[in-house]
Amino acid sequence: MNSNDPSAAPSKADKATVRRHNLSLVLRTVHDAGEATRAGVAARVGLTRAAVSSLVDQLLTEGFLTEWGKTFSGQAGRPGTALQVARTGPAGLGVEINIDYVTVCVIDLAGTERVRLVERTDNRGAPPATVLARAARLASRAIESATEQRLRPVGAELALPALVSGGSVRQAPNLGWNRVAVEGLFAQALTALHPTHRALPVSADNEANLAAMAELWFGDSDDRVTSFIYLTGEIGIGGALVLNGQLLRGAHGFAGEIGHVVVEPDGPECRCGARGCLEQYAGQAALLRTAGLDESAGLTGLAELERRAREGEPQARNAIDAAGRRLGRVLSGAVNLIDPDAVILGGVFRDLMPWLAPAADEELTARVVSGLWTPGSKRLRASSLSGDAARGAAARVVREVLADPAAYVERVAD
Amino acid sequence: MNSNDPSAAPSKADKATVRRHNLSLVLRTVHDAGEATRAGVAARVGLTRAAVSSLVDQLLTEGFLTEWGKTFSGQAGRPGTALQVARTGPAGLGVEINIDYVTVCVIDLAGTERVRLVERTDNRGAPPATVLARAARLASRAIESATEQRLRPVGAELALPALVSGGSVRQAPNLGWNRVAVEGLFAQALTALHPTHRALPVSADNEANLAAMAELWFGDSDDRVTSFIYLTGEIGIGGALVLNGQLLRGAHGFAGEIGHVVVEPDGPECRCGARGCLEQYAGQAALLRTAGLDESAGLTGLAELERRAREGEPQARNAIDAAGRRLGRVLSGAVNLIDPDAVILGGVFRDLMPWLAPAADEELTARVVSGLWTPGSKRLRASSLSGDAARGAAARVVREVLADPAAYVERVAD
């Protein structure tokens, strides 16, 4: 019926839109395959070879794809030129601003990390503008290093241990920030360092959200899950929910705050304002304190905790076990609510898995309904080593390029 | 590019698929509008008037639409015939099998409840086949009553206080059921009562899931939310999560089990096998017991509890307050995780709202991060009176008809 309607004939605007969409389709197909021939792409996306060739030519010219050598297709034995996404050109810049460090990384279109800079620094107490200027300096060095590799960051994504919405931090209890317009402040600080550059678009998100996306995009491919609860143990405890490959943001963008689920109604006051939050029992400070270490010892303290646990020191083992038990208890509730494929633990939890996981697993086994959680299940797992919030942030920029390359064609400077 | 590809021309199969899709589009448009003219439908769906007329003719002939009288369009003043969905023909049958009652209802294509039968009966302890046969007898009477109204139930959906997946109950702790093939058993029992009828397709789901869908479809339209946590207080506590209008099912279909989130790690044993679940503190038995009433008194007991609370009897008030506090505590965790628009309380919680809500609200205000929960917020609300699990179940059948009417055209009996 619809096809008899003359108004349904594709207009010029439609054709341009279709081509733009198909450019992304071809680019993503090569990206996901790692390497592909024009014929291979055509077979996969269901366009004609001629159409694919025209799209590939444009992507080559504009620097999104490169071609190299000859490859032999399995079926016909005819050689074809292999296409790959470019290792130069558009890149993503990820900036993780955490309590006691700043990490900046640049990844290329293929997702490979090409620059990583880490600065250990205590960001607590300093004014937000100072911290963001510090991060901008590090980012600026990363951009220089990327430029030397002929990479061109086309956007920056900030990862923060905070409730972030609409480009602003609403609250970052452990940084002591309230209502900070982080995107604007960071962009301003970066522009001040490079007054001649075109301003880089900046966006921001919660660090656990971005670490969870890194897990989804870069995690172990042999046992990939697409619905999971992600927890990252830092000075605070970050959390994120990924359902069917999509981040659950919630009505206000603040979903995933598992660190502030109550474990002891009358427990110690938390920086968030409530009492007895999980963070007060399984955060870094609690872990160190219970183990008899200086709770503000940070990374050194954690290394010591891990060493003691490895040597079987009872107080260290008990401290981690107690944290694991509380973690498992809260996670059992979350699993009963969400029924995910897996629970993934990152940050310090990752390093403490051998002593943390058994207690958490025991609680999960006892408390998840209907015996759905079997002991020693692979559903409780450590995060992969290949992703963190900074890389997730950089990858989000790259994914925007892959989704619409035409929007990122380099214009010659005016 | 794509449009130059001859293989992209729509085939005959495509045209049939498009027409089938458009039949549904037109039917749903009339359904959602309540009443519409052909011109109104054409304007809304973006098809030509001729196309819409042809589709409407088919829907009229096949009994999905009716037309009546003349209406005047506001703009041109020309009269048009008003279309409505048929009040006879295909209908949905919903069957809620709960611990102490069975409810059966039939709704027509417009969503109006046309038959409702309730049987108070204790389903605990009886063999599942006996309970399902009991429900089938009630369903059979509802079908007879529907037939007298020229309605034709085209499917049955069972609602159970159970973990349901793949047509089977995995576990229904409060019924004492384990691994029961409910769909098959119910279909069999119904066919035995009507050996001459064509077998009715039967499916099953968790009762809280279906009550939540009823809330979504039939709830107050002036303040409708599409992301919410739904809790229903029965002998057990059922829960469901609706996110952006979609039920969250989880990896195994068991999401939403908020009744089994732990509140007291060493609390009393729960029927689910764990300890200290919310159900042990805010379920019917706990409410009645704490109020000094017979915990197995069921509906009579609850009426008495409500009466005493209304009169200000302290033990009754305290019992409800204590349950509300535990409920609020668990809900605060769920809100921190999911960040929904609202939390909706149904079942017995609905009736106890005046005394339950303040305590729950206080906990939510204190424990939801970043002051996101403001006291007395409309985000904590009672379920609407117009929906329950039985109606949600019947509505799911009707929605399948609306989604593909062509699959439900009445064939003349062989």
Does residue B414 lie within any of the structural domains? no
Q: How many residues does chain B have?
A: 414
Stronger pLDDT, B197 or A229, i.e. the higher one: A229
Q: Please say which residue of A85, A106, A135 terminates a domain.
A: A85
Q: Does B244 touch chain A (CB under 8 A)?
A: no
Instruction: Report the greatest alpha carbon distance in chain A.
Output: 79
First-residue to last-residue Cα distance in chain B: 50
> Does position B2 have pLDDT exceeding 50, yes or no?
no
> How many structural domains are present in chain A?
3
Please give the Cα distance from B106 to B148 (Å, whole number): 12
A202-206 and A177-180 strand pairing: unpaired
Triad A9, A12, A18: Cα angle to 5°: 85
- Based on the domain organization, do B275 and B365 belong to the same domain? yes
Please give the Cα distance from B374 to B314 (Å, whole number): 27
Whole-number pLDDT of residue B306: 95
Please give the Cα distance from A394 to A195 (Å, whole number): 23
- Cβ of B337 within 8 Å of Cβ of A241? The answer is yes
Please give the Cα distance from A344 to A219 (Å, whole number): 11
Distance of residue B117 Cα from the nearest chain A Cα, in angstroms: 32
Distance of residue A48 Cα from the nearest chain B Cα, in angstroms: 7
DSSP A38: H
Nearest to B334 by CA among A394, A262, A246, A15: A262
**Which residues in chain B are closer than 8 Å to A251, comparing Cβ atoms?**
227, 339-341
Does residue B186 lie within any of the structural domains? yes
Does residue B6 lie within any of the structural domains? no
Q: For residue B6, with 0-12 CB atoms within 10 Å meaning exposed, 13-18 middle and 19 or more buried, which class applies? A: exposed
Question: pLDDT tens digits for B233-277?
Answer: 988 899 999 999 999 999 888 899 999 999 999 999 998 889 999
Nearest-CB residue to B337 (from A48, A272, A334): A334
First-residue to last-residue Cα distance in chain A: 50
Does residue A111 lie within any of the structural domains? yes
Enumerate residues 150 to 209 of chain B having a beta carbon within 8 A of any beta carbon in chain A: 163, 170-171
Q: Please say which residue of A85, A113, A137 terminates a domain.
A: A85
- Cβ contacts of residue A388 below 8 Å, gap of 6+? A96, A103, A211, A214, A346
Does residue A118 lie within any of the structural domains? yes
Cβ proximity of A159 and A94 under 8 Å: yes
Share of residues in chain A with pLDDT > 70 (%): 93
Nearest-CB residue to A54 (from B1, B253, B366): B1
Q: Does B16 touch chain A (CB under 8 A)?
A: no
What average pLDDT does chain A have? Answer: 90
**Which residues in chain A are closer than 8 Å to B163, comparing Cβ atoms?**
369-370
- Based on the domain organization, do A351 and A241 belong to the same domain? yes
Does residue B4 lie within any of the structural domains? no
Does residue B185 lie within any of the structural domains? yes
- Based on the domain organization, do A350 and A272 belong to the same domain? yes
Does residue B1 lie within any of the structural domains? no
> Does position A394 have pLDDT exceeding 50, yes or no?
yes
What CATH number is given to the structural domain containing B23? 1.10.10.10
- Based on the domain organization, do B99 and B17 belong to the same domain? no
**Which residues in chain B are closer than 8 Å to A248, comparing Cβ atoms?**
243, 338
Distances (CA, A) of B364 to A254, A379, B338: 15, 30, 14
- Based on the domain organization, do B42 and B145 belong to the same domain? no
Distance of residue B381 Cα from the nearest chain A Cα, in angstroms: 16
Which residue segment(s) compose the domain that A283 sits in?
Answer: 220-382
Please give the Cα distance from A270 to A235 (Å, whole number): 12
How does residue B197 score in pLDDT terms, banded at 50, 70 and 90?
low
- Based on the domain organization, do B225 and B333 belong to the same domain? yes
Nearest CA in chain B to A332: B261
Nearest-CB residue to B329 (from A262, A367, A370): A262
Question: pLDDT tens digits for A17-30?
Answer: 899 999 999 999 99
- Based on the domain organization, do A263 and A370 belong to the same domain? yes
Please give the Cα distance from B223 to B206 (Å, whole number): 26
Q: Which helix (H) or strand (E) holds A80?
A: strand A79-85
- Based on the domain organization, do B351 and B266 belong to the same domain? yes
- Based on the domain organization, do A100 and A42 belong to the same domain? no
Whole-number pLDDT of residue B9: 47
Q: Which of A307-311, B76-80, B161-165 has the highest mean pLDDT?
A: A307-311
B57-64: long-range pairs with CB below 8 Å, 24+: B58/B23, B59/B23, B59/B26, B59/B27, B59/B405, B62/B405, B62/B409, B62/B410, B63/B88, B63/B89, B63/B90, B63/B410, B64/B27, B64/B89, B64/B90, B64/B109, B64/B401, B64/B405
Interface test with A, best of B12, B24, B225, B261 (most A CBs within 10 A): B261
- Cβ of A337 within 8 Å of Cβ of B15? The answer is no
Distance of residue A141 Cα from the nearest chain B Cα, in angstroms: 35
B228-233 and A237-243 strand pairing: unpaired
> Does position B8 have pLDDT exceeding 50, yes or no?
no
Phi, psi of B190 (to 5 degrees): -70, -40
- Based on the domain organization, do B358 and B248 belong to the same domain? yes
Please give the Cα distance from B216 to B242 (Å, whole number): 8
Average pLDDT over residues A28-37: 94
Average pLDDT over residues A331-353: 95
Question: pLDDT tens digits for A145-183?
Answer: 999 999 999 999 999 999 998 889 998 988 999 999 999
Q: Which residues of B268-291 are buried (b: 16+ CB within 10 A; e: fewer)?
A: eebbbbbbbbbbbbbbbbbbbebb
Whole-number pLDDT of residue A68: 79
- Based on the domain organization, do A131 and A239 belong to the same domain? no
Interface ipTM: 0.84
**Which residues in chain B are closer than 8 Å to A163, comparing Cβ atoms?**
369-370
The helix/strand/coil state of B239 is strand
Nearest to B168 by CA among B155, B183, B157: B183
What CATH number is given to the structural domain containing B296? 3.30.420.40
- Cβ of A4 within 8 Å of Cβ of B48? The answer is yes
Average pLDDT over residues B386-390: 86
Distance of residue A116 Cα from the nearest chain B Cα, in angstroms: 31
Enumerate residues 43 to 72 of chain A having a beta carbon within 8 A of any beta carbon in chain B: 47-48, 51, 54-55
Q: Please say which residue of B85, B101, B134 terminates a domain.
A: B85
What is the per-residue DSSP string for B303-322? Answer: HHHHHHHHTT-HHHHHHHHH
Question: How many CB pairs (< 8 A) connect A and B?
Answer: 169
Distance of residue B5 Cα from the nearest chain A Cα, in angstroms: 7
Enumerate residues 339 to 358 of chain B having a beta carbon within 8 A of any beta carbon in chain A: 339-341
Enumerate residues 371 to 410 of chain A having a beta carbon within 8 A of any beta carbon in chain B: 371-372
- Based on the domain organization, do B233 and B282 belong to the same domain? yes
> How many C-beta neighbours within 10 Å does residue A11 have?
10
Please give the Cα distance from A252 to A164 (Å, whole number): 9
Please state which of the ranges A126-135, A204-213, B104-113, B190-199 shows the lowest mean pLDDT: B190-199
CA A263 from chain center: how many Å? Answer: 27
Q: Is the C-alpha dihedral spanning B140, B141, B147, B149 positive or negative?
A: negative
- Cβ of A241 within 8 Å of Cβ of B54? The answer is no
Please give the Cα distance from A363 to A96 (Å, whole number): 32
Q: Does A5 touch chain B (CB under 8 A)?
A: yes
Distance of residue A408 Cα from the nearest chain B Cα, in angstroms: 21
Enumerate residues 261 to 320 of chain A having a beta carbon within 8 A of any beta carbon in chain B: 261-262, 265, 272-275
How does residue B72 score in pLDDT terms, banded at 50, 70 and 90?
low
